[in-house]
Structure 1
Amino acid sequence: MTKPAPPRLDPTRVPHLQGTFAPVTEEVDVAELEVTGDIPASLDGLYPRNGPNPRFSPIGSYLYPIDGDGMLHGVWLSEGRARYRNRFVRTPALEAEERVGRALWGGVESLIMPDEDEVGPELAGTFKDLPDINVVRHAGRTLALAESACPFRIDIRPGAGLGTLGREDFAGALPAGITAHPKIDPVSGEMVVFCYALEPPYLTWSVIDRDGAVTRGPTPVEGVDEPMMIHDMALTARYAVIVLAPAFFDLDALVTGGPLLAWRPERGTRVVLIPRDGGRPRWASDEAFWLWHTVNAYDDGPDEHSPVVLDYVQWSRLTVGASEDGAAPTLGGLVRARIDPAAGSMTRTVLDDARVEFPRVDDRRIGRRHRRTALATGTGRSDLLPGEYDAVRWYDTETGATTDWEAGNLSVGEPVFAPEPGSDAEERGYWLTFATDRTDGTSWFLVIPAEDPGAGPVARARIPVRVPLGLHGCWLPTGEG
């Protein structure tokens, strides 16, 4: 009996498969990039960035930013020179699709999975690995991270250049994996992670020490009794901070052709403060809001009763892919929440109401007070897609002042901080990002000075292929981590 063809998906009708988001399939290596300006000699390391990039035309459905094979784009900097390489994260499913030259798995909303005749018994009936969201380094491991699953380990040694080493389950201690936004404590060296699931326990958290050993295995968070999507977390010296917005997985609706995620604002948004010493979690709640990304958090006092300050980018509700009702979510901008662990209450203050996303701070400030936040922002153009930005903004938490660099025809990605070696100052270093020209598809690697970011890049390296707008990256100095 012939297996029926999967439902057709017209990529031209999916905005996030077009323009600056359109996937690329060629893997290239360039030993020396053409540079305009001067790359600071103090920058010595690798800037990798991950993002959704379907290897073959998707079938069934495509839901940005969840679907899509992972592709890493890496720029190596040394002695004022830059080289580039891009590579797919080579999962077993991707390799199976390459053997037949087409997509075998559908998007997450389509429930299309190949059978044993197509992929063998080990992959038949399984979900596809999608390590396409973030990349981090911890305890000597460089990891390409998925939304909530096992990451894949990446080889960044000289000559290996972004090769995939395989699935990472931390010696079997975290078999369900982790989410895409773990947080690394710059003082203790611990990486605190969480994972959400479709079956109980719906939310767990774990700790990996500075040497890579799992010192706290998956620990259920009590009070979470339904499957929920939770994209990011924050960390303080005392707590893991997780925001539970009312975005619930609705598997019954999915089976009957409905959306995977249901937004239920009547349930409100809750925040759980999980003591890192294993103590009783503290809860607070407020009216419904959604966040994709936290900025940072810190304890605003010396003891367990002290408030927790959380900065994040706020949205009125969750949307993924194309909005079902055509209405865009309302942006709350850059917001500061002050959470009282004793009273179980929180207050929110809008710091900056601009259209912003992809917030980053100097990673050495994670869990402690920070002064500067960098964000992708918009200049008001009406032709940009959701998730597309044409400027970078810096917010000063001490003065409330903002500084913008407008990128013109360039669509910019997430800014990542590379500190000046030997300096602890947040204004001593450089902000790194990819950018793509909307008029001709050319892509650039930008180096923006933290001391005067409004002046724009001091160096631009021409990337030989278009770099699709993607998600998250990091700075990996040579000889560290």
Structure 2
Amino acid sequence: MNAHAPTRFDPKRVPHLLGPFAPVTEEVDVAELRVIGELPTALDGTYVRNGPNPRFTPIGSYLYPLDGDGMLHALRMSDGRAQYHNRFVRTPALIAEEKAGRALWGGLESLVTPGVDEVGPELAGTFKDLPDINVVRHAGRMLALAESSCPYRFDTDLATLGREDFDGKLSAGITAHPKVDPVTGEMVVFCYALEAPFLTWSVIGPDGAVRRGPTPVAGVDEPVMIHDMALTSRYVVLVLAPAFIDLAAAMSGGSFLAWRPERGTRVALVPRDGGSPIWSLDDAFWMWHSVNAYDDGPGPQAPVVLDYVEWNRLTVGQTAPGGDGPATANLVRARIDPAVGRMTRTVLDDARAEFPRIDDRHIGRRHRRTALAAGTGRPDLLSGEYDALRWFDVETGTGQLWDAGDLAVGEPVFAPEPGSGESAEDRGYWMTFATDRTDGTSWFLVFPAEDPASGPVARVALPVRVPLGLHGAWLPTEET
């Protein structure tokens, strides 16, 4: 094991391994679930959500939301009925740990890796794959996504099919938040790295073939962490907050992420036709997740609008390495002038919220509604824990809130009503998993898009607790 591993790590004292975050190890299949209310018969498909779920008690360290094995949770719906199953994303490292019956790799902050005698020469000294963040379906592939690493393919039964490097053309991996252009069918991705080139972007065609291989983003000369991106019809939008990867500090027992607010936050508009990036610089802020972006008008000089959740500094785990005082988050709109590289930022909604989603049919184009997991102000919530859902209308500047009470809710995902036009953002349903803090039971909630604050039209009782996790996707049956 690495000599720099912390010696006093106690997983029983890590909040993100307890309560509604606590991992589960049982894999189950239940064909008929109890439904309170009526599950809309228009919903014919599967909601799949990913999230960090350590298979064995972590060693060395545990950093939410980046550490942990991936576990996929699937809620299948048809004819007003529902079934559930879950499976681990079985990477080679996880398979080795299951053979050993214990954790062999430590968390990202500890750099604990197994030796040859424990895992053999191919895995010894390597870092563990962590496809535990998101899921996407594109060109017939269903992928469990990691943080700038290769994703893993899985099938409709959630069985792991193997590591996906796109025929060797994207062997360094892709982002956990690719964007699929609903007009062209292209999936645009980025990847950051510890060595040059430190940031690249690529394009995967609607047929699954790589159309543009890893293309360096000019102007990035050191490793920086970037979690999400946005897309317009003309640009790849990349937000480079001053969260720098410091491997030397990590090797000596310090943090592998350094927050340097004096450097400010840079935003790159990377032309999708391969042109040079247009940069803008502003005061430091951190972005975990974008809402959407679009070109606000025709022509090459049209401004770019970017909606996102803005944090005043980097937040990981239960601490915020950016300084003292509370970490704040708001729904913000940035307007970027590509002619002069100037960015202005305006707060749209000051409610505490994260995990923003829109109707994915509007990715890269003008949208109206944003759904988010939100907080009502109760002081006992951990980072990544929310007790409400919020819907914000950018046209009216107003928001709606559904108070979940004792339920801890996750990211809301939109399922359009079959046959509805792209402009019909209120014809469909929002869905999410939720866990009751009082008894640990979990539910699947379905909200009507035309009046989501009225509460769920269906509550599906889940057979096991679903830990609070990260991102999911609605996969209509007709597209499988």
Counterparts of 1:81-480 in structure 2 under 5 Å?
Answer: 81-156=81-156, 161-323=157-319, 327=324, 329-424=326-421, 425-480=424-479
Amino acid corresponding to residue 109 of structure 1 in structure 2: E
* Structure-1 separation of matches of 2:302 and 2:446: 39
* 3-state DSSP of counterpart to 1:51: coil
* Structure-2 separation of matches of 1:279 and 1:476: 34
The count of residues paired between Structure 1 and Structure 2 equals: 476
Q: CA deviation at 1:331?
A: 1.8
Q: CA deviation at 1:330?
A: 3.1
Report if aligned partners of 1:319, 1:329 keep a CA contact under 8 Å in 2: no
Q: CA deviation at 1:301?
A: 1.2
* Structure-2 separation of matches of 1:150 and 1:49: 18
Q: CA deviation at 1:4?
A: 12
Amino acid corresponding to residue 146 of structure 2 in structure 1: A
Q: Which digits, 9 at most, give the CA deviation of each residue in 1:216-236, with x for residues without a partner?
A: 000000100110000000000
Q: Which digits, 9 at most, give the CA deviation of each residue in 1:299-350, with x for residues without a partner?
A: 0110111100000000011021132678455324100000011111100000
* Structure-1 separation of matches of 2:319 and 2:42: 44
Q: CA deviation at 1:179?
A: 1.0
* 3-state DSSP of counterpart to 1:94: helix
Q: Which digits, 9 at most, give the CA deviation of each residue in 1:355-404, with x for residues without a partner?
A: 00000000000000000000000111111111100000000010011111
Amino acid corresponding to residue 387 of structure 2 in structure 1: D
* Structure 1 position 79 matched with structure 2 position 72: no
* Structure-2 separation of matches of 1:443 and 1:324: 29
Report if aligned partners of 1:9, 1:58 keep a CA contact under 8 Å in 2: no
- Residues 74 and 306 (structure 1), Cα distance of their counterparts in 2 relative to 1, 3 Å cut: same
Report if aligned partners of 1:355, 1:378 keep a CA contact under 8 Å in 2: yes
Q: CA deviation at 1:5?
A: 9.8
Report if aligned partners of 2:5, 2:110 keep a CA contact under 8 Å in 1: no
* Structure-2 separation of matches of 1:168 and 1:7: 35
Q: CA deviation at 1:12?
A: 1.8
Q: CA deviation at 1:251?
A: 1.0
Q: CA deviation at 1:6?
A: 7.9
Report if aligned partners of 2:432, 2:445 keep a CA contact under 8 Å in 1: yes
Return 42-51 or 250-259, whichever deviates more.
250-259
Amino acid corresponding to residue 452 of structure 1 in structure 2: D
- Residues 5 and 377 (structure 1), Cα distance of their counterparts in 2 relative to 1, 3 Å cut: closer
Report if aligned partners of 2:314, 2:320 keep a CA contact under 8 Å in 1: no
- Residues 403 and 6 (structure 1), Cα distance of their counterparts in 2 relative to 1, 3 Å cut: closer
Equivalent position of 1:63 in the other structure? 63
* 3-state DSSP of counterpart to 2:20: helix
Report if aligned partners of 1:150, 1:168 keep a CA contact under 8 Å in 2: yes
* Structure 1 position 25 matched with structure 2 position 25: yes
Amino acid corresponding to residue 263 of structure 1 in structure 2: W
* 3-state DSSP of counterpart to 2:479: coil
Counterparts of 1:30-49 in structure 2 under 5 Å?
Answer: 30-49=30-49
The alignment's C-alpha RMSD in Å is: 1.5
Amino acid corresponding to residue 212 of structure 2 in structure 1: R
Report if aligned partners of 2:4, 2:110 keep a CA contact under 8 Å in 1: no
Q: Taking structure 2 as the reference length, what is the TM-score of the superposition?
A: 0.97
- Residues 52 and 362 (structure 1), Cα distance of their counterparts in 2 relative to 1, 3 Å cut: same
* Structure-2 separation of matches of 1:259 and 1:176: 23
After TM superposition, what 4+ stretches of structure 1 lie above 6 angstroms from structure 2?
3-6
- Residues 422 and 4 (structure 1), Cα distance of their counterparts in 2 relative to 1, 3 Å cut: closer
Amino acid corresponding to residue 416 of structure 1 in structure 2: V
Amino acid corresponding to residue 345 of structure 2 in structure 1: R
* 3-state DSSP of counterpart to 2:207: coil
Q: Which digits, 9 at most, give the CA deviation of each residue in 1:133-163, with x for residues without a partner?
A: 000000000000001100000101xxxx100
* Structure-1 separation of matches of 2:324 and 2:428: 40
